[in-house]
Structure formats: C-alpha cells, structure tokens
Amino acid sequence: MISALISSSCTALAAIYLATPFFALFTAAALMVGVGGAALMSIELGKGNKEKGQSLFVQSMKLTFMISFTLVAVALFFLDDIIHLMGATGTVAGLTVDFLGTLLWFFEIYSLGWVASCFIRNDTNPRLGMYAMCVGAALNVVFDYLFIFQFGWGVKGAALATGLAQVLMFCYLMSHFVRGQGILRLKFRGYKLVDARRILALGLPTFFLGLRFYFLIPPLMGLNIVTATLFQSTGDAKRTTVLSLSRGFVFVLLGLLILPKFFPVDGVWGSMLFAEVLAAVMSVFLLVQRTSPLKKVGVAEQPENGTYAEAA
C-alpha cells in the first residue's frame, strides 16, 4: 500500500517537474520587465519626474500583460505538443496536462504580481513585497493541504492552490495603491509603450539570473516532496506538517530576511533555493530520526501469519 502511494506521488512529482521550466520562463520574463522598469522609475523619481515614473510603471505593467498573455496563449494552444517534446508519455503526460492546464490560467496574475512587487519596493514600501511573498507561501501550503489531502483533487488541486495563492498575493500587493502609500497610482490610460526597449535592455541580465536559480531547485524539491509524501503515507502527520510548513513558509521567510544582507543584488531571488536547501537537510535528518528507532529495537518477520513482532 505504501509503495503504491509513493509510486503515485513520484508520478505526480514528475508532472510538477515538467512545469518548472514554465515557472522559470514566466518569472524570468516578469523580473526582466519589473527590474528594468523599476530601476528606470527610480532614476526619474530621483530627478523629480513623478509623471515619467508613473509612465514607466504603467508601461511595464502593460508590457508584462502583453508578454505573459502571448506566452499563456501559445502554451495552452500547443500544450500537448510541448509536453510531448519534453519527453512525457502515458500517465505522466496526462498529469502534466492537468497541472499546467490549470496553472497556466493564473500565470498572467503571477507575472503582474512580480512586476508590481519590483515597483512597490522602489516606491517607498520595500517590505510589502516580502510580506506578500510570505502570505502567498503560507496560503499555498494551506490550500495544498485542503485541495490535495482533504478534497483529493490531486495535481489539479496543487495547481489550483498555487494559482489562488498568487491571486491573493497580488490583491495584497494592490493594497499599496489602494491606500496611496507611495507616489504610483493605478492609472493606465494615456501611456504608450515608448520606453519598452529601454526597460527590456536594462532588465535582460535579470532574465538569465530568475532562470539560473530556478533550474537549481527541482532536484532538492523532489527529495523534499517525496519525503513529505512518505511521512504522510505512513500517517506521520507531525513530520509531514513540520517539513511542509518549513519549506513552504518558514525557510522562505528566513531567506528573504537573511540573504539580502549578504547578497544585496541577488539575495531575494535565491530565497526559494535557500528554502529548498534547508528543507533537504531537514528531510535527511527526519528520515534518519524516523528509521533509527527501528534499528535499535529490531524487527523479526513472521511469514506464517504475515505479521511482524518486535525481537526480544
């Protein structure tokens, strides 16, 4: 029974792995626009050009909408072909279609959220982006528990949990503009994409950086998810909860607080990798802790009745 559950979980995990390049692409594209546009905005605000700063914010949001809309439309239309080219077949291919077919509808908000976060940090509210990411991570864990373990929605539930968490995170970010906490406002009329080339040129290095970090995450993520699934499959709710909350919320928050102090430029982008590294260490520790009592007690097999008894 346990081996069947683990096998099923590994198949689902393979489907999630295949979605990693999509996350990397959308995140990198959003950060390319967000970092480039926010840097130019800061320069203009420093010169006292508030209207130009507002224009750069609006242009960046519009540009992100256009890019992400195009990527989502192409991905949805050619989803089966893309998954086939990635080498997925059979059950894994079906689960990948279920996962991405649900999640892709949220990537528009996902991308706009990253861009808005970049501008909000430069618009007198640097902590809101960190708070929003923490809120999103916590909600993702809660929704995962509800949709996967309580409702039994499988990979579609996992995709829906991630998507809804991103929508709520985006709404939380919008509170910056609703409350009028900075200079920027949610006014989108009357601005043309006259600075698109400057925005993309300045943000291009960041595009290749959100890619480098994201492609280092999957091996560690695999270890952590399989370990959490093992504990959940054997009824070990305590270890499952500790590991899931740590990698999805606590370690991400630690990364956001610690890494920028040592790596001011790249620190925030490494928070997810930082979280998965610490979670991998915790996974190994919990696995050793879980198996060590069995070694001390000893187990003798009784094949005649199919049960087990502790050795004397």
Give 204-216 as a DSSP string: HHHHHHHHHHHTT
Q: Read off the pLDDT band of 58 (50, 70, 90).
A: very high
Q: Write down the residue that tokens 């809309």 correspond to.
A: 69
Q: How many C-beta neighbours within 10 Å does residue 75 have? A: 17
- Domain count along the chain: 2
Q: Are 201 and 82 in a shared domain?
A: yes
Domain boundary among 192, 214, 236: 214
CA distance 215 to 24: 7
Angle of CA points 89, 96, 75, to nearest 5°: 105
Q: Are 52 and 140 in a shared domain?
A: yes
Contacts of 211 (CB under 8 A, 6+ apart): 24, 25, 28
DSSP secondary structure letter of residue 195:
S
Task: Indicate if the pLDDT at residue 168 is higher than 80.
Answer: yes
Across the range 114-134, mean pLDDT stands at: 88
Task: Indicate if the pLDDT at residue 297 is higher than 50.
Answer: no
**Which pLDDT does position 61 carry in this prediction?**
95
Residue 85, both tokens: 């080219």
**Which pLDDT does position 204 carry in this prediction?**
83
Domain boundary among 165, 181, 214: 214
What angle separates helix 107-121 from helix 50-77, to the nearest 10 degrees? 160
Which of 132-141, 167-176, 279-288 has the highest average model confidence (pLDDT)? Answer: 167-176
Q: Are 69 and 20 in a shared domain?
A: yes
3-class state of residue 309 by DSSP: strand
CA distance 100 to 162: 11
Task: Indicate if the pLDDT at residue 230 is higher than 70.
Answer: yes
Please report whether residue 183 resides in a domain.
Answer: yes
SS3 content of the chain, % helix, strand, coil (to 5): 80, 5, 15
Across the range 62-74, mean pLDDT stands at: 95
Q: Are 169 and 26 in a shared domain?
A: yes
Please report whether residue 104 resides in a domain.
Answer: yes
Structural domain including 152 reads 1-214
CA distance 14 to 89: 11
Residue 309, both tokens: 């008894």
Domain boundary among 149, 181, 214: 214
CA distance 106 to 114: 13
Q: Read off the pLDDT band of 54 (50, 70, 90).
A: very high
Please report whether residue 7 resides in a domain.
Answer: yes
CA distance 72 to 87: 21
Q: Are 53 and 202 in a shared domain?
A: yes
CA distance 208 to 35: 12
CA distance 244 to 216: 19
Query: How many helical (H) and strand (E) elements, i.e. helices and strands, does the chain have?
Result: 12, 2
Antiparallel, parallel or unpaired: β 307-310 and 299-302:
antiparallel
CA distance 221 to 228: 11
**Which pLDDT does position 88 carry in this prediction?**
77
Q: Are 251 and 191 in a shared domain?
A: no
Q: Are 188 and 224 in a shared domain?
A: no
Identify the helix (H) or strand (E) that includes residue 307. Answer: strand 307-310
Mean pLDDT of the chain: 82
Q: Read off the pLDDT band of 210 (50, 70, 90).
A: low
**Which pLDDT does position 138 carry in this prediction?**
85
Task: Indicate if the pLDDT at residue 175 is higher than 90.
Answer: yes
Please report whether residue 309 resides in a domain.
Answer: no
Task: Indicate if the pLDDT at residue 191 is higher than 60.
Answer: yes
193 backbone dihedrals φ, ψ, rounded to 5°: -80, 65
Please report whether residue 30 resides in a domain.
Answer: yes
Q: What is the biggest distance separating any 2 CA atoms in the chain, rounded to whole angstroms?
A: 85
Please report whether residue 34 resides in a domain.
Answer: yes
Q: Are 190 and 260 in a shared domain?
A: no
Across the range 42-47, mean pLDDT stands at: 91
Please report whether residue 268 resides in a domain.
Answer: yes
3-class state of residue 79 by DSSP: helix
Q: Read off the pLDDT band of 14 (50, 70, 90).
A: low
Q: Write down the residue that tokens 């959490």 correspond to.
A: 228
CA distance 305 to 311: 16
Higher pLDDT: 206 or 191? It is 191
Q: Are 192 and 223 in a shared domain?
A: no
Please report whether residue 258 resides in a domain.
Answer: yes
Q: Are 256 and 171 in a shared domain?
A: no
**Which pLDDT does position 300 carry in this prediction?**
43
Higher pLDDT: 309 or 24? It is 24
Across the range 220-235, mean pLDDT stands at: 77
Across the range 22-27, mean pLDDT stands at: 83
Q: Are 38 and 23 in a shared domain?
A: yes
Q: Are 228 and 181 in a shared domain?
A: no
What angle separates helix 218-233 from helix 237-245, to the nearest 10 degrees? 160
